[in-house]
A and B are shown apart, each in its own frame.
Chain A
């Protein structure tokens, strides 16, 4: 470097940049480089110029050169621009695993970050490593870089050709294996069964092989065995891989209990030696604690657990947990004492310890671990509300009220003084709305002090700044004793940082998707404050379009000290086709021969079914979708085609759909109907829980006369083709906490439809169906649930000579009863019946009301339900009655009651449900014995039939 001091004080003749075009805006450049011709050179100023320019993040190198000339010096600022990482995409023939996303992640090229020299080389190497870990040794990775000099950004495209995947050969097992290495090599199971050859050398298969060896050791009681992959040997000429596995067998460790039985599964769960694969005193002591908790939780509160280790020989070690269970107890009471600030219910809700229940927790729930945990939780609750010295401890009284084995627990709370905030000083906020910000702080002078409130204040203040484009805002808090007793003085220090603005929004990765879909969701324009909050919101909106698997979001040059920054959004489009195939079966009272008249109320039956679905997503690049569904079962044959245009005209929550349907169903035992239907629907979300649907439907329903099991005189009327043209509006309000298994909240829906000749049909009627469901949690464990449904069909302009009931096509009647409406009936068996055959005809009105009491039964996953269902399907609205007695064998307009018990087993897809119902007053009615032909020939034998008192239902999901 030139002797810089020689230039100190010389007059600047000229300042120029090399290259002349700079990435920083001219105005910014003038601000950052204040060196002016005619002024003297100060090296300290030159230093500051370099620092300021570098701090913009847009340069990777800066040097200032002085060129002496006649009148002084010319300063030349040499710069090298910094490139930034842009979108990373992977294409080519990629055989999974790994998939394109995993390969992209392996590149470890972070969007928006400065690009370093080794990054590309490192990315290719990481990708190759990942491919090789999955047996793709012949893979090629060809990077392509597209430099966008306007935005100093480099886009990476890696073309990957996976090549043929290598398969395993027998692994080599090394180390102090303690078992024959060849036996361990075989245990890895890298070879498929019989003659199917060797498995592919994927990472998952490799890991599975190692786990198989671990399991082999476990079976041999070598619990401390360690198995790891040393390296993979690639046999190039065969394209095969030989894993070299390091295995240390360790001694046989036998863990058992003495004094009480503990299953092997529970030992593995509670003694951490099994998980940690090592034996040391700490783990054994932890095992003691866990086993103590286990026994105490089962009612053995006085249990004593210890352990004894014995070295049988160098290859054998015995560990025995000595358990003295003592007497079994039962938690009969859990009391709370000393609480003033919080109610007993509030505290009880937060406790894990429970008194014994009738079925659930028959001995209660108590252990020292649980007691400590509850004490900590309650203390934390008080401390969060200013009771900094609060203490909570559980004491135990044995043989409570002289009854041996009964235990009463008392949570004794010593609240102590409640600390109050004496004053809050907030420094560093220069915004004009500071008073408004301060007014919304959770910590308020005179109110209880809590660190939770301080955290809330921090989040609130930072959110204000982040939203306003101060991404570097920082918050610090300090607190000290206040002037009075039990007082805290708070001091908040806010470092606002510099405001940042959006220079532009750069989108990448849109191959199929049109900008027309994405652009309305771009919420920033140049000059807007760079708000993290808004960026996150925009990212969510883009995800909500439903066409992207991934939306990466970043600020280019995040650390750079530039006022205006590029926002980067990179999209990974989702797959365009989706297919699903499913098989299942229904088991319920759906049986009965199609030609038999013997069981109008159904018999237990089995209906297998298969489903196939295919969807084309992101149609036209606009996020629309086309979905084809089909089902084939012994009861139902159905195909449908649906076109969905979400966010119609970019209105949030407005969807339009068109559906065509062909359906041939025998879901009501009385008949089989063929339905052709077309509908158009527009839906609009009015608020988070409320949505309204407007729908036009046209359908043509033909009842197969050869399946109609009703009075033959009525067949010509009932089997007349019906064309329905209907418009209807459906308002849905859903405030449930969990639609699959609600514990609290409410669900309302009201559907009003008008069927009129004008809309293209041959019938006229009004149709209304309303539902209200209400859920309430009691004592955090129990749920009370209520469901009420009301429906009415009101015909008008009825054809003269036809009664209102028969005017409405049978397929349009309400059919009810079954697992989701009234469990006193088999599916669709409620309501009016044919007075000759006894088969259900449906009705023009319905009323159902259900009450459920849901409670924990066994463990955390099995719940029980007591339910009471009441209601029926009625011939007309005016026939709705609360009368409980059936007046005669042709009277169906009365209220049927059923009570029962159900079990729910919690699964990720919703509870599996088994309900057993007893109908108190099921209908009895005229029926026939014989075949359909006997009906036509008048040779069927009259018989009195009835719906069974007992019904059962097996399905997925709650009843409502």
Chain B
């Protein structure tokens, strides 16, 4: 796999990855399936009514439904905090930031599903450790207390940060394997193409565009609901 510097990953990220890991725009999007609005208002209403008096004690709940999986509210918050930490932005858990984070998490969930189905391998644990070490070196020049204090200020743990970096690595491996122009989306077809003497090479398309198109397709085929109460 192509080697990338941790700085590149941490700050700018691979452009393709960045579209769903950190920089997806906000803007409410109501997903539809088969022309029907998917958001089950009666259920949301029931939950809202049910939970409103208890909201002071609710520690986590469903924030986004992605098919038969969910993203929880604490996950959204963690995504906001880690992303803001990595990008060196101030902590802001406003609705727009949470919404943007939720959109990224939806994309991540879709990718995760495909990784499981396609049997894509995970990066070794050591790679995330090295990436974290590089990050600490570049951002904090080895000053551990400052690093710890910053983590605490953002409300995240090192384990959460490391998991986030590991996930970034996994996604990069996935996009390389799935969308790189040299390795086709359908391996069998490409192999056949390669073997066909004199065959014209498959038209190349940017990884980013391919990933975007794939995500758009995957979103249109998946029931996605954003629960209002999680983004107020």
Given known A47-B75, A118-B36, contact A64–B60 (CB-CB < 8 A): yes
Most-contacted residue by chain A among B57, B69, B188, B197 (CB, 10 A): B57
Q: Does B5 contact A (CB under 8 A)?
A: no
Chain B residues, CB < 8 A from A715: none
A48 to B, closest residue via Cβ: B72
Q: Does A515 contact B (CB under 8 A)?
A: no
Instruction: Name which of B8-16, B46-54, B142-150, B202-210 contacts chain A.
Output: B46-54
Q: Is the pair B69, A54 in contact by a Cβ cutoff of 8 Å? A: yes
CA distance A773 to B131 in the complex (A): 80
B220 shortest CB reach to chain A, Å:
16
Chain B residues, CB < 8 A from A118: 36-37, 40-41
Q: Does A119 contact B (CB under 8 A)?
A: yes
CA distance A560 to B65 in the complex (A): 13
Q: In the complex, which of the residues B55, B68, B192, B195 contacts A1, with contact meaning CB atoms closer than 8 Å?
A: B55
User: Per-residue 0/1 for B18-55: is the Cβ within 8 Å of any A Cβ (1 yes, 0 no)?
Assistant: 00000000000000001011111111101100110011
Q: In the complex, which of the residues A41, A62, A122, A478 contacts B188, with contact meaning CB atoms closer than 8 Å?
A: A478
Q: Is the pair B61, A64 in contact by a Cβ cutoff of 8 Å? A: yes
A311 shortest CB reach to chain B, Å:
38
Q: Does B125 contact A (CB under 8 A)?
A: no
CA distance A41 to B37 in the complex (A): 37
User: Per-residue 0/1 for A191-208: is the Cβ within 8 Å of any B Cβ (1 yes, 0 no)?
Assistant: 000000000000000000
Chain B residues, CB < 8 A from A122: 36
User: Per-residue 0/1 for A91-132: is the Cβ within 8 Å of any B Cβ (1 yes, 0 no)?
Assistant: 000000000000000001000000011110010000000000
B117 shortest CB reach to chain A, Å:
6
Q: Is the pair B187, A478 in contact by a Cβ cutoff of 8 Å? A: yes
Given known A43-B59, A65-B57, A116-B36, contact A559–B188 (CB-CB < 8 A): no
Most-contacted residue by chain A among B44, B72, B75 (CB, 10 A): B72
Chain B residues, CB < 8 A from A479: 187-188, 191
Q: Is the pair A63, B47 in contact by a Cβ cutoff of 8 Å? A: yes
Chain A residues, CB < 8 A from B69: 51, 54-55
Q: In the complex, which of the residues B42, B55, B70, B195 contacts A2, with contact meaning CB atoms closer than 8 Å?
A: B55
CA distance A704 to B172 in the complex (A): 96
A559 to B, closest residue via Cβ: B68
Q: Does B88 contact A (CB under 8 A)?
A: no
B50 to A, closest residue via Cβ: A78
Chain B residues, CB < 8 A from A427: 119
CA distance A914 to B55 in the complex (A): 86
CA distance A60 to B191 in the complex (A): 44
B218 shortest CB reach to chain A, Å:
15
CA distance A380 to B54 in the complex (A): 67
CA distance A108 to B33 in the complex (A): 12
A40 shortest CB reach to chain B, Å:
13
Chain B residues, CB < 8 A from A55: 68-70
B side interface size, CB within 8 A? 45
B57 shortest CB reach to chain A, Å:
4
A741 shortest CB reach to chain B, Å:
41
CA distance A293 to B116 in the complex (A): 50
Q: Does B118 contact A (CB under 8 A)?
A: yes
Q: Is the pair B57, A2 in contact by a Cβ cutoff of 8 Å? A: yes
User: Per-residue 0/1 for A469-485: is the Cβ within 8 Å of any B Cβ (1 yes, 0 no)?
Assistant: 00000101111110000
Q: Is the pair B60, A47 in contact by a Cβ cutoff of 8 Å? A: yes
A47 shortest CB reach to chain B, Å:
5
Q: Is the pair A50, B197 in contact by a Cβ cutoff of 8 Å? A: no
Q: Is the pair B68, A117 in contact by a Cβ cutoff of 8 Å? A: no
Q: Is the pair A67, B187 in contact by a Cβ cutoff of 8 Å? A: no
Q: Does A318 contact B (CB under 8 A)?
A: no
Q: Does B107 contact A (CB under 8 A)?
A: no
User: Per-residue 0/1 for B138-182: is the Cβ within 8 Å of any A Cβ (1 yes, 0 no)?
Assistant: 000000000000000001000000000000000000000000000
Q: Does B67 contact A (CB under 8 A)?
A: yes
For residues 384 through 414 of chain A, which have their beta carbon under 8 Å from a beta carbon of chain B?
388-389
Q: Does B73 contact A (CB under 8 A)?
A: yes
Q: Is the pair B38, A116 in contact by a Cβ cutoff of 8 Å? A: yes
Chain A residues, CB < 8 A from B118: 476
CA distance A495 to B155 in the complex (A): 38
Q: Does B56 contact A (CB under 8 A)?
A: yes
CA distance A791 to B47 in the complex (A): 82
Q: Is the pair A495, B187 in contact by a Cβ cutoff of 8 Å? A: no
Chain B residues, CB < 8 A from A478: 187-188, 191
A561 to B, closest residue via Cβ: B68
CA distance A67 to B58 in the complex (A): 9
A557 to B, closest residue via Cβ: B68
CA distance A46 to B73 in the complex (A): 11
Q: Is the pair A5, B58 in contact by a Cβ cutoff of 8 Å? A: no
Chain A residues, CB < 8 A from B60: 1, 4, 43, 46-47, 50, 63-64
Chain A residues, CB < 8 A from B67: 559
Q: Does A7 contact B (CB under 8 A)?
A: yes
Q: Is the pair A477, B188 in contact by a Cβ cutoff of 8 Å? A: yes
B163 to A, closest residue via Cβ: A44
Chain A residues, CB < 8 A from B42: 117
Q: Does B133 contact A (CB under 8 A)?
A: no
CA distance A122 to B36 in the complex (A): 8
A43 shortest CB reach to chain B, Å:
6
Q: Does A38 contact B (CB under 8 A)?
A: no
CA distance A402 to B60 in the complex (A): 91
CA distance A236 to B73 in the complex (A): 52
Chain A residues, CB < 8 A from B61: 1, 50, 61-64
CA distance A7 to B117 in the complex (A): 36
Chain A residues, CB < 8 A from B188: 451, 454, 477-479
Q: Is the pair B58, A65 in contact by a Cβ cutoff of 8 Å? A: yes
Chain A residues, CB < 8 A from B57: 2, 65-68, 76
B191 to A, closest residue via Cβ: A479
Q: Does B3 contact A (CB under 8 A)?
A: no
Q: Is the pair B59, A7 in contact by a Cβ cutoff of 8 Å? A: yes
B68 shortest CB reach to chain A, Å:
4
Q: Does B87 contact A (CB under 8 A)?
A: no
CA distance A117 to B58 in the complex (A): 25
B37 to A, closest residue via Cβ: A118
User: Per-residue 0/1 for A56-89: is the Cβ within 8 Å of any B Cβ (1 yes, 0 no)?
Assistant: 0100111111111000000010101000000000
Q: Does A493 contact B (CB under 8 A)?
A: yes
Given known A46-B60, A47-B60, A47-B74, contact A54–B119 (CB-CB < 8 A): no
Q: Is the pair A481, B59 in contact by a Cβ cutoff of 8 Å? A: no
Chain A residues, CB < 8 A from B65: 54
CA distance A493 to B60 in the complex (A): 37
For residues 859 through 891 of chain A, which have their beta carbon under 8 Å from a beta carbon of chain B?
none
A340 shortest CB reach to chain B, Å:
21
Most-contacted residue by chain B among A63, A451, A477, A481 (CB, 10 A): A63
Q: Is the pair A474, B58 in contact by a Cβ cutoff of 8 Å? A: no
Q: Is the pair B59, A64 in contact by a Cβ cutoff of 8 Å? A: yes
Chain A residues, CB < 8 A from B62: 50, 54, 61-63
Given known A78-B51, A118-B36, contact A66–B187 (CB-CB < 8 A): no
Q: Is the pair B155, A5 in contact by a Cβ cutoff of 8 Å? A: yes
User: Per-residue 0/1 for A414-451: is the Cβ within 8 Å of any B Cβ (1 yes, 0 no)?
Assistant: 00000000000001100000000000000000000001
Chain A residues, CB < 8 A from B50: 78, 80
Chain A residues, CB < 8 A from B56: 2
Q: In the complex, which of the residues B34, B43, B55 contacts A117, with contact meaning CB atoms closer than 8 Å?
A: B43
CA distance A51 to B59 in the complex (A): 14
Q: Is the pair B196, A51 in contact by a Cβ cutoff of 8 Å? A: no
CA distance A47 to B62 in the complex (A): 9
Across the A-B interface, give the 4 residue pairs with the lowest CB-CB distance, nearest first.
A63-B61, A559-B68, A117-B40, A4-B59
28 contacts between A and B (CB under 8 A): A1-B60, A1-B73, A2-B57, A2-B58, A7-B59, A43-B59, A46-B74, A50-B60, A61-B43, A62-B62, A63-B61, A64-B59, A65-B51, A68-B57, A78-B50, A80-B46, A80-B50, A117-B43, A118-B41, A122-B36, A388-B196, A427-B119, A451-B192, A476-B118, A479-B191, A481-B191, A495-B116, A495-B119
- 15 additional A-B pairs beyond A1-B55, A2-B58, A76-B54, beta carbons within 8 Å, are A1-B60, A4-B60, A47-B72, A47-B74, A54-B65, A55-B69, A61-B44, A63-B51, A65-B58, A76-B57, A78-B50, A80-B47, A116-B40, A474-B117, A479-B191
